[in-house]
């Protein structure tokens, strides 16, 4: 067993505090990873606060993991010691259902095994995430991070990156497409960079004009404030694809009106409450409302290779472990440009 230093929530809504636990010794197909950096995703906060249902405590969050391979099991073929690797939102799945076979493990019909607040394939052992010094994962659920990407700025690609890449790729964002993203936060800023690299014409729809300069720097072609009513008139029927990255409740009908005929709005954020939708918003323009959840292993690797080719990483604020609780508060206030990443060498014995 391997002593692992971490930060954990000891109970629901408790602030995170130093925690020590054991990781398993690598089995035949396992890769042991020294975690160098771990991103902070808004869903970490939802889960430690039990906003999405009952949690398993102590809970070590973190599913934007970047590190270096330190040990491999006897039958591992895809990785060797020293490789730069990542782990995203899940560490296993049933491997036999039609979706797992298609490389869509995130939609596994049995349910994927989450990187934390979930169980291993045995259905018993609780998984613990990336706010820690090491992790042991089956090689089939480990991603290769190309060496030209710095590990700290690459960590957020494992959730924020793939969450935006997958719908952009699936709905064909490219040179002849007009794409909009609602919200310029952790997800939104990745959507801008990736859509720009895909060659799409990209518009950011943000509450105010505050982030307009940033958006242009990140690669956006246009920027509009949604607090200005004229925006909805001006942009009526403009877009082929809209990614909604915010989890706040918005009037979806208003945004669906910004789609061209046959356009699609994809939900990435998860509002707490049900949102009301008028059938007219869809019917009048053969428009579609869709959702998208992270991406499978194959597509996540494709995203990392795409980002390496285009030199895309996240804009981050690097913090030490003792700043995690403060960072959570700032994430809730959208006071980060654009992702907090924890330097995992600052986890130590309590
Ligand atoms: Zn996430
Ligand atoms: Zn499956």
Could you tell me the distance, in angstroms and rounded to a whole number, from the CA of residue 120 to the centre of ligand 1? Answer: 19
| % of the chain exceeding 90 in pLDDT | 95
Could you tell me the distance, in angstroms and rounded to a whole number, from the CA of residue 294 to the centre of ligand 1? Answer: 8
pLDDT over 70 at 1, yes or no: no
Digit-coded pLDDT (tens) for 34-45: 999 999 999 999
Q: Is the peptide bond before 229 cis (omega within 30 degrees of 0)?
A: no
Could you tell me the distance, in angstroms and rounded to a whole number, from the CA of residue 161 to the centre of ligand 1? Answer: 9
Q: Provide the pLDDT for residue 273.
A: 86
Confidence of residue 247 (pLDDT cuts 50, 70, 90): confident
Digit-coded pLDDT (tens) for 285-342: 999 999 999 999 999 999 999 999 999 999 999 999 999 999 999 999 999 999 999 9
Q: Which ligand is nearest to the CA of 295?
A: 1
Residues contacting 251, CB < 8 A, separation 6+: none
Could you tell me the distance, in angstroms and rounded to a whole number, from the CA of residue 46 to the centre of ligand 1? Answer: 10
Could you tell me the distance, in angstroms and rounded to a whole number, from the CA of residue 117 to the centre of ligand 1? Answer: 13
pLDDT over 80 at 52, yes or no: yes
Q: How many whole angstroms separate alpha carbon 157 and alpha carbon 344?
A: 17
Q: Which ligand is nearest to the CA of 130?
A: 1
Digit-coded pLDDT (tens) for 151-174: 999 999 999 999 999 999 999 999
Which residues have C-beta under 5 Å from ligand 2, the single-atom ion? 93-94, 97, 100, 108
> Where are the extended beta strands (E) located within the chain?
2-9, 16-23, 30-39, 65-72, 84-87, 90-92, 113-114, 134-138, 143-144, 178-182, 201-206, 222-225, 239-244, 259-267, 288-291, 316-319, 339-343
Digit-coded pLDDT (tens) for 93-121: 999 999 999 999 999 999 999 999 999 99
pLDDT over 90 at 245, yes or no: yes
């Amino acid at each position: 067993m391997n002593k692992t230093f971490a930060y954990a929530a000891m109970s629901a809504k408790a602030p995170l505090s130093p925690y020590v636990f054991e990781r398993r010794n690598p089995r035949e197909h396992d890769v042991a990873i020294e975690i160098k950096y771990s991103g902070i995703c808004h869903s970490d906060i939802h889960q430690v606060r039990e906003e999405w249902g009952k949690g398993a405590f102590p809970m070590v969050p973190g599913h934007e993991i970047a590190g270096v391979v330190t040990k491999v099991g006897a039958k591992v073929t895809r990785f060797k010691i020293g490789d730069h690797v990542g782990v995203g939102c899940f560490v296993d799945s049933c491997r036999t259902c039609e979706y797992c076979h298609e490389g869509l493990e995130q939609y596994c019909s049995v349910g994927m095994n989450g990187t934390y607040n979930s169980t291993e394939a045995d259905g018993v052992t609780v998984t613990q995430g990336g706010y820690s010094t090491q992790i042991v994962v089956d090689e089939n659920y480990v991603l290769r991070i190309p060496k030209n990407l710095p590990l700290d700025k690459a960590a957020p690609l494992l959730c924020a990156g793939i969450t935006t890449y997958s719908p952009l790729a699936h709905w064909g964002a490219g040179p002849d497409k007009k794409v909009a993203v609602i919200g310029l936060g952790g997800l939104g800023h990745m959507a801008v960079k990736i859509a720009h690299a895909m060659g799409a014409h990209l518009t950011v729809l943000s509450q105010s004009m505050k982030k307009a300069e940033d958006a242009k720097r990140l690669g956006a072609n246009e920027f509009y404030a949604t607090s200005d009513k004229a925006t909805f008139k001006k942009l009526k029927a403009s877009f082929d694809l809209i990614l909604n990255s915010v989890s706040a409740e918005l009037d979806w009908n208003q945004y669906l009106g910004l789609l061209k005929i046959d356009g699609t709005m994809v939900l990435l954020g998860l509002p707490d409450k049900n949102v009301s939708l008028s059938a007219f918003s869809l019917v009048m323009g053969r428009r579609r409302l869709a959702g998208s959840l992270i991406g499978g292993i194959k597509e996540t690797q494709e995203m990392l290779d795409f980002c390496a080719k285009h030199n895309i990483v996240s804009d981050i604020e690097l913090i030490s472990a003792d700043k995690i609780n403060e960072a959570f508060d700032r994430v809730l206030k959208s006071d980060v440009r654009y992702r907090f990443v924890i330097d995992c060498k600052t986890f130590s014995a309590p």
